[in-house]
A and B are shown apart, each in its own frame.
Chain A
Amino acid sequence: IAGITQAPTSQILAAGRRMTLRCTQDMRHNAMYWYRQDLGLGLRLIHYSNTAGTTGKGEVPDGYSVSRANTDDFPLTLASAVPSQTSVYFCASSPEGGISNSPLHFGNGTRLTVT
């Protein structure tokens, strides 16, 4: 089934540890996004990529990094996790970035707890 796969589904992580959240899509979408969802704050954009080889910062990029080596994969890395990064993380994709009326397709999310 075509779509977005996120891994892991959930994770408990000690503060200070490095963690990479994986995101893979098989729809050949050009644009990919990482959001975090926190109670009362909705979804906030962390980083995005309009096409392979390019990335951009969203609303809350500090403490996170991304790479886009190819079309399908868009991993999100927490270099040194802190408790405030406890959240549910969603990866999303869209056929095009930039000017487009395309909606986002979402993965099922990763629940991350930093202790």
Chain B
Amino acid sequence: AQTVTQSQPEMSVQEAETVTLSCTYDTSESDYYLFWYKQPPSRQMILVIRQEAYKQQNATENRFSVNFQKAAKSFSLKISDSQLGDAAMYFCAYRSMNRDDKIIFGKGTRLHILP
């Protein structure tokens, strides 16, 4: 069974600085999808970025980018120029390419932005 591990329960970063949230996963599959979701205090779950495992190029969405290391099974999220609105819980998620797929989430990293 697949697992997703976020080893940093909490992190803090100074406003305008860069922060990297780590995520590792365990799978025997060669093709899959990875996602980062953001959950602000409003409780809403918001998709931040996604990556297909067959793509070597790292995904980028404005200030958000990933470092996808397939061999190491690592999928870290980098937030550049951190803003107060980035304060949230961040979840890493794995989606299998099996027909009967399960979407597995990590336990989350709470990110604090220091003004």
Could you tell me which A residues sit within 8 Å of B by CB distance? Answer: 33, 35, 40-45, 48, 50, 56, 58-59, 88, 90, 92, 97-101, 103-104, 106, 108-109
Contacts and interface: CB of A to CB of B under 8 A. Distances in A.
A56 B43 CA distance: 26
B108 A101 contact: no
B101 A99 contact: yes
B33 A33 contact: no
A56 B35 CA distance: 22
B62 interface: no
Contacts, number: 55
Interface stretch (B13-21, B64-72, B75-83, B90-98): B90-98
Interface of B: 6, 9, 33, 35, 37, 42-45, 47, 50, 52, 91, 93, 95, 97-108
In the A-B complex, the 8 residue pairs with the closest CB atoms: A106-B45, A42-B107, A43-B105, A103-B47, A98-B99, A101-B33, A42-B105, A109-B43
Contact of A45 (B91, B97, B100, B102): B102
Given A88-B43, A103-B50, A109-B43, A33 B103 contact: yes
Given A40-B107, A42-B108, A43-B91, A97 B101 contact: yes
Given A99-B101, A104-B47, A106-B45, 6 more contacts: A42-B106, A42-B107, A43-B105, A92-B45, A101-B95, A103-B47
